[in-house]
Structure 1
Amino acid sequence: MPPSLRFLTIAFLCTLLGACTLVKFPGVHRIEVQQGNIITQEIVDQLKPGMTRRQVQFVLGTPLLEDTYSPNRWDYVNRLRDKKGNITQKSFSVYFDEDSLVSTSGDWVPADWP
């Protein structure tokens, strides 16, 4: 086999193999991938104004983002990719004054929040 034909054959096979990732085969098991903090409305409803940083961390967990330039804000991010490849992202932020919880923002609103 001439070297040029061998090269073209290998290039064609590599291209064909690379194209396999573009095809979604039916019946292939796909899993949901969840990244970040798991935050639900029930968890957010446990927050009360005046809670300490330690109490908030006990309820929500360790924040995904802790900004060095804004130490009074903690950000919690939840990202979910379902079996079809659709991505859903939600975020929740808590704000402190010194060591006391003063406000929240994001996709969830705590119940009984003034």
Structure 2
Amino acid sequence: MPPSLKLLAIASLCTLLGACTLIKFPGVHRIEVQQGNIITQDMVNQLKPGMTRRQVQFVLGTPLVEDTYNPNRWDYINRLRDPKGEVTQKRFSVYFNGDILIATSGDWQPTGWP
């Protein structure tokens, strides 16, 4: 087999394999993909003003983003891709004054905060 024919055959095979990702086969199970921190309203409701960083980390877990330029802010990000491919993203931030929790912001709000 001539080398140019081998090269053409390999290029054709690579093109066909690459095209397989564009086709969505019916009946194929797609999973839900969750990335980042899993945060629930119940977890957020456990937060109280005056908690220490360790207490907040115990309730919410390790933050996904700790900003080196703003060490008094922790960001928790949750990203979910459903089987249809739709992506939803939620954020939750906690703010500290030194080692003390002073405020929160984002898609969840603790109940009973001033």
Same fold (TM over 0.5): yes
Residue aligned with 1:15, SS: helix
Q: Which runs of 4+ in 1 moved over 4 A?
A: none
Identify the residue that residue 28 of structure 1 maps to in structure 2.
Answer: 28
Moved more, 11-20 or 1-10: 1-10
1:93 and 1:29 mapped to 2: Cα distance?
A: 34
Identify the residue that residue 63 of structure 1 maps to in structure 2.
Answer: 63
Once the 2 structures are TM-superposed, how far is the Cα of residue 3 of structure 1 from its aligned partner? 3.9
Moved more, 8-17 or 39-48: 8-17
Residue aligned with 1:23, SS: coil
Identify the residue that residue 112 of structure 1 maps to in structure 2.
Answer: 112
One-letter amino acid of the structure 2 residue matched with residue 31 of structure 1? I
1:61 and 1:40 mapped to 2: Cα distance?
A: 12
One-letter amino acid of the structure 1 residue matched with residue 62 of structure 2? T
TM-score (norm 1): 0.92
Q: What is the alpha-carbon root mean square deviation over aligned residues?
A: 1.3
Counterparts in 2 of 1:1-114, with a 5 A limit? 1-114=1-114
2:9 and 2:60 mapped to 1: Cα distance?
A: 56
Residue aligned with 1:43, SS: helix
One-letter amino acid of the structure 2 residue matched with residue 72 of structure 1? N
1:106 and 1:17 mapped to 2: Cα distance?
A: 43
TM-score (norm 2): 0.92
Once the 2 structures are TM-superposed, how far is the Cα of residue 98 of structure 1 from its aligned partner? 1.2
2:64 and 2:58 mapped to 1: Cα distance?
A: 14
Once the 2 structures are TM-superposed, how far is the Cα of residue 2 of structure 1 from its aligned partner? 4.3
Residue aligned with 1:44, SS: helix
Deviations 1:71-110, CA, capped at 9 Å, x for gaps: 1101101011111111111110000011111000111111
* Structure 1: gaps (5+ residues): none
One-letter amino acid of the structure 2 residue matched with residue 51 of structure 1? M
